[in-house]
Amino acid sequence: MQKRSFDVGGVVVGGEKLVLIAGPCVVESEHVCMRTAEHLASVAEELKIPLIFKASYDKANRTSIRSFRGLGMSEGLRILRKVKEKFSLPILTDVHCVTQVDEASEVADVLQVPAFLCRQTDLLIKVGKSGRAVNIKKGQFMSPEDMLFAIEKVTSTGNHSVMVTERGTTFGYRDLVVDMRSLVIMRSFGYPVVFDATHSVQQPGASGGSSGGRREFVPYLARAAVAVGIDALFMEVHPSPDEALSDGPNMLPLHELKPLLESVLLIHDALRSYAGR
């Protein structure tokens, strides 16, 4: 099947270039978002890698009621708009219910359906009707084959700017495992496939009311996924992950980003050269 490609704020998803989707887990402050976006924009320009900035204005699925969720929708979207305007970057953010879609779509270029909500029909239809590109994260409980039905819910609205993201499958209670076959299976649907290298090393609920993680495995999984063949690499990054207010244990420090990208781009270019023989 011919793979679709589409434009997201000047970034072509599903084209020849590997796209980077990156940013902090949540909008925890304007300073963190702006500092992270500035670093990402600089690295992306140097390495000639297309960039979509991501951050959530709300994390509605935190483990504990005491966990930090964000600064609120209005403030979160204000900061994301500032990132978009200052650095000329397309924006990806989560939506958790149909009532958030219209307001979020005024700022975001990509609306992301979180993994736990990837079967929610009304939400998938609503984001499809928004006219924005849609990223559906594969649920930790979902087979890759079943993601075709999630795609169809969005495309039933006439919106075919859809990508799907692998982020690991639940193994036992507190570990995720990545089955690289899912990247091949989901690519066969004809839509761009993304690999989330940081949530895939998450350990849900392992830190006593919040998620733990093994960020040291991020580079290995990222390189493996690029070698299999993906259209975009999704990574959450932070200036000081150990001080982050959400998902710190699985986020990558900013200073580790460039060498990792250099290695995955070598793999991506080698794969393209081999395929072109």
Asked, for residue 239, whether it belongs to a domain, the answer is yes
Q: What is the pLDDT of residue 175?
A: 86
Instruction: Check: CB of residue 93 under 8 Å from CB of residue 104.
Output: yes
Q: What is the pLDDT of residue 1?
A: 62
Asked, for residue 6, whether it belongs to a domain, the answer is no
Instruction: Check: CB of residue 165 under 8 Å from CB of residue 234.
Output: yes
Asked, for residue 54, whether it belongs to a domain, the answer is yes
How far apart are alpha carbons 70 and 25 in whole angstroms? 10
Instruction: Check: CB of residue 264 under 8 Å from CB of residue 222.
Output: yes
* Residue numbers of the domain that contains 235: 11-275
Into how many domains does the chain fold?
Answer: 1
How far apart are alpha carbons 49 and 33 in whole angstroms? 20
Asked, for residue 142, whether it belongs to a domain, the answer is yes
Q: What is the pLDDT of residue 276?
A: 63
Domain containing 70 — which CATH number? 3.20.20.70
Instruction: Check: CB of residue 250 under 8 Å from CB of residue 214.
Output: yes
How far apart are alpha carbons 258 and 152 in whole angstroms? 36
pLDDT tens across the length of the chain (277 residues): 678 999 999 999 999 999 999 999 999 999 999 999 999 999 999 999 999 999 999 988 877 888 888 899 999 999 999 999 999 999 999 999 999 999 999 999 999 999 999 999 999 999 999 999 999 999 999 999 999 999 999 999 999 999 999 999 888 777 889 999 999 999 999 999 999 999 999 887 655 555 678 889 999 999 999 999 999 999 999 999 999 898 888 899 999 999 999 999 999 999 988 776 5
Q: What is the pLDDT of residue 198?
A: 95
Asked, for residue 23, whether it belongs to a domain, the answer is yes
Q: What is the pLDDT of residue 236?
A: 96
Asked, for residue 4, whether it belongs to a domain, the answer is no
Asked, for residue 3, whether it belongs to a domain, the answer is no
Q: What is the pLDDT of residue 229?
A: 96
Q: What is the pLDDT of residue 205?
A: 64
Q: What is the pLDDT of residue 59?
A: 86
Asked, for residue 254, whether it belongs to a domain, the answer is yes
> Measuring CA to CA, which residue among 64, 69, 96, 66 is closest to residue 206?
64
- Quick one: which H or E segment has residue 147? helix 147-155
